Amino acid sequence: MSTCIFDLSPHWFWAGLTAVSLIWYSTVTVYVAIKGVSDIRGMLDRLSSEKDVE
């Protein structure tokens, strides 16, 4: 008899699907954050170069 509150053996499919979803969400969030920082740096570089031209 298992006394663990989080015994997921009868619900292995849903536990696995939840884990995969969390990993996917985390991966996409980190990817978007990195690309966003890159885009903001590029925008700031363009703005500073346009300011230097004027």
pLDDT, tens digit (0-9, with 9 covering 90-100), for 14-52: 889 999 999 999 999 999 999 999 999 999 999 988 776
SS (H, E, C) 17-49: HHHHHHHHHHHHHHHHHHHHHHHHHHHHHHHHH
Q: What angle do CA 42, 47, 52 make, to 5 degrees?
A: 125
Binning pLDDT at 50, 70 and 90, where does residue 3 land?
A: low
pLDDT at 2: 55
pLDDT at 12: 85
pLDDT at 51: 73
Lowest mean pLDDT among 1-5, 7-11, 45-49: 1-5
